[in-house]
Amino acid sequence: MPGAYCGPDFKSISEPAQNAMIEYLYENGVRPELGLAVEYLSWNKEQRLYMAWLRDLYLHLSKEVDN
């Protein structure tokens, strides 16, 4: 969303505040593995959408050739 406030850059926050935020996330079960899982799921979805687009394009072009 353009113009939306995204907050400060994490690296610009004081080190104690960064550590407190990281500790909070760990206490609530957010681990680096979660980020990897989200990245994989995102990649997987992108591939499925691309394959569907290729299939649709193939079907469309096949109809054009048959006519």
Number of domains within the chain? 1
Q: What is the mean pLDDT of residues 29-37?
A: 92
Considering the chain, what percentage of its residues have pLDDT values greater than 70?
A: 97
User: Which residue range(s) make up the domain with 38?
Assistant: 14-66
In a domain, 54, yes or no: yes
Residue 37 lies in a domain: yes
Q: Residue 65's pLDDT is what?
A: 82
Mean pLDDT of the chain: 93
Q: Are 10 and 18 in contact (CB under 8 A)?
A: yes
Q: How far is CA 19 from the centre of its chain?
A: 24
- Has residue 9 been placed in a domain? no
pLDDT over threshold 90, residue 1:
no
Q: What is the per-residue pLDDT across 41-61, written as a single tens digit (0 to 9) for each? A: 999 999 999 999 999 999 999
Residue 3 in any domain: the answer is no
pLDDT at 21 over 80: yes
